[in-house]
């Protein structure tokens, strides 16, 4: 039986994180979730025509900005800017948003395409979604309540800047949960 990282502790962490990210630091970004089912793809898996996205969902995040780069190429000078958006996973769960590669993040009127997802920050090294129970609902080591211990803290979306004309997104009303949109 685990002792540390129980549900009460995690609840406090969640509150602290939301206070820290929502009331103290307050960095925000919006996620445009890619709508795969409405996007036509060609035989190479590329979008043949327009890409479609869900309405932008606004989140409090922690943001790591890399330095901007201006590399030379045959067609001129490019602009590169990599940014990591660190989401509190619980916020994503509440909003029913699962960041994936290809999604677009809107941040300070710029668009950033997700090219990598990192989801490996576990408190006390456990994910409560994996209590390791068999078909009888029994953990053979006697750890019967592992579903109440551990915490998947964050999902980090590493992105690269994409010009607005390339993604072709027009800004819409920001929402806080895809779930709310679907209810409407």
Partner 1 sequence: MAVIPIYPGSSSFFPGDTPFGFYDQQIDFQTDADRVVTYCARRLGYPIMDVELQDLNFYTAFEEAVTTYGNELYAFKVRDNYLSIEGSLTSSNLNHELISPNFASVVRYTEQYGEEAGTGGNVTWYSGSLPLNPNQQTYDLKAWASSSASLIDGDSIEVKRVFFESPPAIVKFFDPYAGTGTGMMNMMDTFGWGNYSPAINFMLMPISFDLQKIQAIELNDQVRKSQFSFELINNNLRLFPIPRHGGSMQIQYIKMSERNSPISKTPSGSYVVTNVSNVNFSNPNYNEINSIGRSWVFDYTLAVCKEMLGYIRGKYTQVPIPGAETQLNQADLLSAATSEKEAQIARLREYFDETSRKALMERRADETNATLIELSAVPYPIYIG
- The structure tokens listed for 113 are 């395409």
Binding of residue 1 to partner 1 (CB under 8 A):
no
Choose among 153, 161, 175: nearest CA to 105.
Answer: 161
The Cβ of residue 18 has, within 10 Å, a number of other Cβ atoms equal to: 14
- When the beta carbons of 116 and 121 are compared against partner 1, the nearer one is 121
Candidate list 30, 114, 153, 178; residue touching partner 1; CB under 8 A: 153
- The structure tokens listed for 91 are 């916020």
Binding of residue 81 to partner 1 (CB under 8 A):
no
- When the beta carbons of 53 and 152 are compared against partner 1, the nearer one is 152
CA 50 to chain centre: 23
Q: Which residue has 């979604």 as its token pair?
A: 129
Q: Alpha-carbon distance 124 to 117, whole Å? A: 21
- When the beta carbons of 122 and 143 are compared against partner 1, the nearer one is 122
Binding of residue 86 to partner 1 (CB under 8 A):
yes
Q: Which residue stretch of 3-11, 31-39, 163-171, 173-181 sits at the interface with partner 1 (rule: CB under 8 A)?
A: 3-11
Q: Alpha-carbon distance 90 to 18, whole Å? A: 9
Q: Alpha-carbon distance 41 to 125, whole Å? A: 39
- When the beta carbons of 117 and 167 are compared against partner 1, the nearer one is 117
- When the beta carbons of 51 and 86 are compared against partner 1, the nearer one is 86
Q: Which residue stretch of 17-25, 68-76, 107-115, 133-141 sits at the interface with partner 1 (rule: CB under 8 A)?
A: 17-25
- When the beta carbons of 129 and 165 are compared against partner 1, the nearer one is 129
Q: Alpha-carbon distance 65 to 79, whole Å? A: 14
Binding of residue 148 to partner 1 (CB under 8 A):
yes
Q: Which of residues 21-50 bind partner 1 (CB under 8 A)?
A: 21, 23
Binding of residue 133 to partner 1 (CB under 8 A):
no
CB 152 within 8 Å of CB 90: no
For 2, the 3-state DSSP assignment is coil
Residues of this chain that interact with partner 1 (CB under 8 A) are 4, 7-17, 19-21, 23, 61-62, 64, 84, 86-90, 93, 121, 123, 148, 151, 153-156
């Amino acid at each position: 039986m685990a002792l540390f990282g129980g549900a009460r502790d995690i609840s406090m962490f969640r509150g602290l994180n939301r206070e820290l990210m929502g009331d103290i630091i307050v960095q925000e970004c919006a996620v445009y979730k890619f709508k795969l089912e409405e996007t036509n793809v060609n035989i190479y898996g590329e979008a043949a025509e327009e890409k479609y996205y869900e309405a932008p969902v606004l989140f409090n995040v922690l943001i790591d900005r890399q330095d901007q780069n201006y590399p030379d190429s045959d067609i001129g000078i490019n602009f590169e800017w990599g940014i990591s958006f660190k989401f509190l996973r619980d916020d994503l769960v509440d909003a029913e948003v699962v960041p994936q590669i290809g999604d677009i993040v809107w941040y300070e009127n710029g668009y950033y395409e997700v090219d990598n997802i990192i989801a490996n920050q576990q408190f006390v090294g456990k994910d409560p979604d994996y209590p390791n129970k068999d078909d009888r609902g029994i953990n053979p080591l006697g750890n019967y309540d592992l579903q109440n211990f551990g915490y998947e803290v964050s999902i980090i979306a590493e992105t690269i800047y994409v010009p607005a004309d390339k993604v072709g997104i027009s800004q819409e009303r920001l929402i806080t949960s895809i779930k709310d949109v679907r209810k409407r």
